Amino acid sequence: MAELLTVERLSAGYGEAQVLFDIDLSLAEGRSLALLGRNGVGKTTLVNSIIGVTRRRGGRITLAGQDITAASPEQRAHAGIGWVPQERNIFKSLTVLENLTAVAKPGPWTTERVFSMFPRLAERKANLGNQLSGGEQQMLAIGRALMLNPKLLLLDEPTEGLAPIIVEELLRALKRLVREEGLSAIVIEQHARKILELTDEAIVLERGRVVFAAGSAELLADPSRLERHLGLAAA
């Protein structure tokens, strides 16, 4: 499989504060990556650096062979990066359908396919964004990112603060995206075990550095490492 994303010796942060130090990672087409670590270790900063909203202090980023190191966030989106931020950032004054069609680009992902993945959105397609529950807003944020028909989907804590039943629904959708649809994705997720079950690879950050990188199954099968890096009990 061809490399889709390559991050080489990336150092970045905000203003004068450096958060990331010499980060290396690569992701092949059709592969998925769990981005793990305790709170405040730089996970969101790494995703923000891939989309181009941090201050880069060094390093290089390529997407599908294209050097995007100096590209603006808009240029990176046009190159094929889709982003679902923690804040969701849906258009709350537009309907569900308008949210989806406002950003649509030609490709396999259409409103019909999004509604197939998230039937709740189909039922509420005439509702305004501010009339949706938190879980429905998250589904809409993911659906809107898919309507860009991205090469790479970045998701920052997609299940944060949601009811367990909605978490399971979203994880099933993510599993479909990465396992059945073959969409390349990087996912930051606090439910480490659950996201490791559906991703191919994993990296763990500590203090802005990669301290572990391997297959998701390898990390999932190593309770001592889960405990050491993520504070998860072995049970």
End-to-end CA distance of the chain: 35
Q: How far is CA 35 from CA 193, 210, 228, in A?
A: 12, 10, 16
Confidence (pTM):
0.94
The answer to whether 49 touches 12, Cβ cutoff 8 Å, is yes
CATH level 2 (architecture), domain 1-77+184-235:
3-Layer(aba) Sandwich (3.40)
Whose tokens are 């150092």? That residue is: 11
d(CA 140, CA 97): 9
The single-letter code of the amino acid at 11 is S
Residues with Cβ within 8 Å of 22's Cβ and at least 6 positions away in sequence, in order, are: 9, 10, 11, 58, 59, 209
DSSP 131: G
Give the pLDDT of the chain (235 residues) as one tens digit per residue. 789 999 999 999 999 999 999 999 999 999 999 999 999 999 999 999 999 999 999 999 999 999 999 999 999 999 999 999 999 999 999 999 999 999 899 999 999 999 999 999 999 999 999 999 999 999 999 999 999 999 999 999 999 999 999 999 999 999 999 999 999 999 998 888 999 999 999 999 999 999 999 999 999 998 888 888 887 644 3
Q: Are 156 and 85 in contact (CB under 8 A)?
A: yes
171 forms beta bridges with none
- Distances from the Cα of 131 to the Cαs of 94, 136, 169, 225, in angstroms? 10, 9, 20, 42
- For residues 212 and 221, give the distance between their C-alpha atoms in angstroms, rounded to a whole number: 14
Q: Which two tokens stand for residue 132?
A: 């949706």
Q: Where are the domains of the chain?
A: 1-77+184-235
